[in-house]
Chains A and B, each alone.
Chain A
C-alpha cells in the first residue's frame, strides 16, 4: 500500500464508521484530491460528505471549526501548509483557544490535514515547513506520520481526539510504498517511535526527513557508528520520555528539521534535551536544518538548501568527535 492509499483507507474507514464524519477542502471531490488521497471517495460517499470547497481557506477552515462545535466530525483538507496561512486566524484564534477561553464549555474535535515540505522543485511559495509554527500553539495537537501505517492509523486516532488535531503529510511521501496496513488500527498519539536502535548517537527526525535520517544511519553503520533514529511522530505534545531516554543512552543528539533553524522546532527540541538531559550529554545538541533562504527552484540549489543524509552523517560524526573535522550543518 502506498502512503496516499493509506490516507485514503483511513478516510474511508472513518467515513464508513461514523456518519458525522465528512471531508471538505479544495478539489477533494471531483479532482480526487490534489495528491489523489480522496480519489473515488466522492463516488462512494456522495457530495454531501465529500465536499469540494471554493478557494476560501479562511472560510472553510472556520466552517470546519463551526461544524465540529455543532456536533459533526469534520476532516478538513487544506491542500498544502502554504495555503494554510490564509486560515491561521481560525486555527490559532478560534480552534486553539475556545476550550480554555470559554471556561471549558466548548471543544473543537476537528481534524485538519495538510501536505507540507519541500523537495519537489516547486519554489519558495510552495515549499514551506510550518509544522513548528503550529506546534507552538497550546490547544492544538500536531502530528506527522512518516510511515504508511501511521498515515492510516494516525488519522483514525486523530478522529478520536477531543481537540483540534493537525496532520502534516509530507508531499514527498505520497508515492511511497510501505506494504500492507491492518484495518482499523489507530495508533497511540502520545508516543514517538524508535525506528532504529543504536548506542552512539540519537538522530531525531519526523515526516519525510525520517527517511533521510535512516539512510544517514545506514551510512554511519558502515563507518562503525551505531545511530539510534527516533521518529518524533507527535510534535505537540512531544514525547519527552522516548526522546530523553534515547539521548541519555547515546549521550549525543542530532536534530533534523526541514524548517529553518532560527526560532524553529529544532530549537525547541534542542532546548528540551538540554533541560532534561544536560548532564548526560557528551556534546552540544547538533542541528541539521534548511538554509535560511526561501527555497529556490533549481534542483542543485534546492538540494543545497535542504537537510540531506550527507549533512546528517557529518553532523553525527562531528558530534561524537570521531569525524575528520567535518563542518556542522548550514547556518
Chain B
C-alpha cells in the first residue's frame, strides 16, 4: 500500500466518500450556474471555485455549527458546505426572493444568519477586520465557538489584512485565518504583487502559528484545518492556514486570460482535486466506476431540482425596494 492509500484506509471509506461527494456537489452546482449564466438567467459577476473545491471541503471538516464563517465573493462552496440549502443559494444567484439574501445580493453576497454565515463580501479584504470583531465579541461575551475567515491571496496585498492579523494576534482572538492562495488576484500573479511570496511567513511575523498545505489534496486540507482549529479552540489565539490551490477558469465568468499560459493551466488541471481523490479511492478499492457514476447522477438530479426551483421562484416585488435599509422596515 502507498502512503496515500494508507491515509485513505485510516480515514475510512464512509468519510472519504463523503468528501468526494461534497466536492462533486460544488463542482456540479457551479457547472449548472455557469450554464444559467450563459442562458442569461444569472447576470453581473459570477466567480467560480472550479479547481479549489478541496479547500472549502477540507476546511469545513474542522468547522462546527457554533463557529462563525466569513467569506468573500467567491463563496458558493462555503455557503453550500455551511449547509445553506442549494435551493436558497441557487435562488440568490438568480436574484429571486427565496434566495439567501432575498435575491438582492446575487452571487457575491450570500448571507445566512441562522447558520452563522456572515457573507459574502465583495470588496477585497474587508471581511478580515469584520472577522476580528466577531472573534472579539466571542471572546468578550464568552460565547463558545471560533470565527473562521476565508480570503484570497489578493487580500494579503491590502493593509486591512495586515492590520487584522496584528489585532487578532495582539488580542489573542479565537480566529482561524484560511487563505485560499490560488496564485492570482484577477490577472496579476502573486509574484508580481509581493516581494515576499511566502504568505504563511507573514502570519508568523505577526506572532501566530501558520501552516501551508496542498490545497488540491482534500485529506491534507482537512488535516491542516483540523490541527489549526484545535489550537484556536484551545484558546491559544489565532492560527493561519495557507491552502495552495488554483482557479481553473477565468476570474469571473469570462476573461481572455492573457495573464497566464495554457500550459500552466493544464499542469494545474492535471491536479484536479476531484479527479485526484476519486482516482486514489478507486486505486484503494474504495470506489468503483459504476458507483461514482451513480453518485454523479444523484448529485446532478439534486442540482437540477435546485435550478428548477430557483427558475420558477418569484422575484421580490418592486414595492419592497426600500425595505431593510434601516431596522424596523423588514422585507
Which positions in A face B, CB cutoff 8 Å? 26-27, 29-32, 34, 52-59, 82-83, 85-86, 120-126, 291-294, 296-301, 304-305, 331
Assembled-state Cα–Cα distance A54/B255 (Å): 19
By a CB distance below 8 angstroms, the chain A residues around B14 are none
Residue of B nearest to A297 (CB): B106
Secondary structure call for the B interface: loop
Contact at B155–A55, with CB atoms within 8 Å? yes
| CB nearest neighbor in B for A36 | B256
Contact of A294 with B186 in the complex, beta carbons under 8 Å: no
With A56-B157, A59-B159 known to touch, is A298 a contact of B103 (CB < 8 Å)?
A: yes
Establish whether residues B45 and A52, one from each chain, have CB atoms under 8 Å apart when the complex forms.
no
Is B269 located at the chain interface by the 8 A CB criterion? Answer: no
Q: Does B125 contact A (CB under 8 A)?
A: yes
A31 in contact with B188 (CB, 8 Å): yes
**Among B1-9, B130-138, B221-229, B316-324, which stretch is in contact with chain A?**
B316-324
Instruction: Decide if A123 touches B258 in the complex (CB within 8 Å).
Output: no
| Bound CA–CA A57/B44 (angstroms) | 23
The answer for the CA separation of A140 and B255 in the assembled complex, in Å, is 34
Would you call A55 and B194 a contact (CB within 8 A)?
A: no
> Does B66 interact with chain A (Cβ within 8 Å)?
no
Contact assessment for A31 and B187 in the assembled complex, using a CB-CB cutoff below 8 Å: yes
Q: Does B270 contact A (CB under 8 A)?
A: no
* B109/A126 in contact, CB under 8 A: no
- The answer to whether A291 and B321 have CB atoms under 8 Å apart is yes
Within 8 A of A (CB), among B108-132: 108-109, 121-125
* Complex-state Cα separation, A85 to B187, whole angstroms: 22
In contact, B104 and A297 (Cβ under 8 angstroms): yes
Evaluate whether A55 and B321 lie within 8 angstroms (CB atoms) in the complex, with A30-B187, A124-B105 already known.
no
Looking at the complex, which one of B43, B104, B192, B322 makes contact with A291 (CB distance below 8 Å)? B322
Residue of B whose beta carbon sits closest to that of A79:
B186
Whether B157 contacts A54 by the Cβ 8 Å rule is yes
Q: Given A27-B188, A55-B124: A123 and B159 within 8 A (CB)?
A: no
B171 interface contact, C-beta 8 A: no
A123 adjacent to B188 (CB under 8 Å) = no
Point out the residues of chain A lying under 8 angstroms from B193, CB to CB: 52-55
- Decide: A54 near B194, CB < 8 A? Known: A26-B188, A300-B318: yes
Query: Which of B95, B109, B315 has the most A CB atoms < 10 Å from its CB?
Result: B95
Known: A124-B105, A293-B322. A298 touches B315 (CB 8 A): yes
By the criterion CB–CB under 8 Å, are B318 and A126 in contact? no
A195 CB to nearest B CB, Å: 30
Chain B nearest CB, measured from A326 CB (Å): 18
Across-interface contacts of A53 in B (CB, < 8 A): 193
Look across to chain B and name the residue whose beta carbon is closest to the beta carbon of A303. B318
Please judge, given known A-B contacts A30-B188, A32-B258, A300-B318, whether A120 and B44 are in contact too, CB under 8 Å. yes
Task: For residue A21, give the distance in angstroms from its CB to the closest CB of chain B.
Answer: 21
Say yes or no: is B35 at the interface (Cβ < 8 Å to chain A). Answer: no
Q: Which B residues form the contact surface with A (CB < 8 A)?
A: 43-45, 95-96, 103-106, 108-109, 121-125, 154-155, 157-159, 185-188, 192-194, 255-256, 258-259, 315-316, 318, 321-322, 325
Give the CA-CA distance A82 to B108 in the complex, in Å.
Answer: 15
Q: Beyond A26-B186, A122-B45, A124-B109, is A331–B322 a contact (Cβ under 8 Å)?
A: yes
Residue contact B259 to A123, C-beta cutoff 8 Å: no
Residues of chain A with a CB closer than 8 A to B321's CB: 291, 293, 296, 301, 304-305
Q: Which 5 A-B pairs have the closest CB atoms?
A: A31-B187, A298-B95, A297-B106, A54-B157, A121-B44
Most buried by A among B44, B109, B318: B44
Chain B residues near A27: list those with CB within 8 A.
186-188
Contact A301:B316 (CB < 8 A) given known A30-B258, A55-B154, A124-B109: yes
Interchain residue pairs with CB less than 8 A apart (23): A27-B186, A31-B255, A31-B258, A55-B124, A55-B125, A55-B155, A56-B159, A86-B158, A121-B106, A123-B122, A124-B109, A125-B108, A125-B109, A125-B123, A291-B321, A291-B322, A292-B322, A298-B96, A298-B103, A298-B316, A301-B104, A304-B321, A305-B321
Residues of B within 8 A of A86 (CB): 123, 158-159
**A52 to B106 alpha-carbon distance, docked (Å):** 29
Supposing A31-B187, A83-B123, A297-B44 touch, asked if A55 and B157 sit within 8 A by C-beta, the answer is yes
In the bound complex, do residue A297 and residue B109 qualify as a contact, i.e. CB atoms below 8 Å apart?
yes
| Complex interface: chain B residues within 8 A of A30 (CB) | 187-188, 192, 258-259
A299 to B95, CA, bound (A): 8
Determine whether the beta carbon of A123 is less than 8 Å from that of B108: yes
List the A side residues contacting B123 at CB < 8 Å: 82-83, 85-86, 125
- Chain A residues with CB below 8 A from B316, complex form: 298, 301
Taking A55-B124, A56-B158, A123-B105 as contacts, is the C-beta distance between A297 and B187 under 8 angstroms?
no
**B182 → A minimal CB distance (Å):** 14
Cβ–Cβ < 8 Å partners of A34 in chain B: 186
Question: In the complex, what residues of B have CB within 8 A of residue A32's CB?
Answer: 187, 256, 258
CB-contact partner of A292 in B121, B318, B325, under 8 A: B325
For B124, list chain A residues within 8 Å (CB). 55, 83
Contact A31–B186 (Cβ < 8 Å): yes
CB distance from B222 to the nearest CB of A (A): 29
Please give 9 more A-B residue pairs, beta carbons under 8 A apart, in addition to A54-B194, A304-B321. A52-B192, A55-B124, A86-B123, A121-B95, A125-B122, A293-B321, A294-B325, A301-B318, A331-B322
Chain A residue contacts of B95, Cβ below 8 A: 121, 297-299, 301
- Which A residue sits closest to B108, measured CB to CB? A123
Distance (whole angstroms) from the CB of A295 to the closest CB of chain B: 9
The chain A residue with its CB closest to the CB of B125 is: A55
A55:B158 contact, CB within 8 angstroms? yes
For residue B318, which residues in chain A have a CB less than 8 angstroms away from its CB? 300-301, 304
Interchain CB contact under 8 A, B315 and A300? yes
Q: How far apart sit A233 and B256, CA to CA, in the bound complex (Å)?
A: 33
Which of A291, A292, A296 counts the most B-chain CB atoms under 10 A from its CB?
Answer: A296
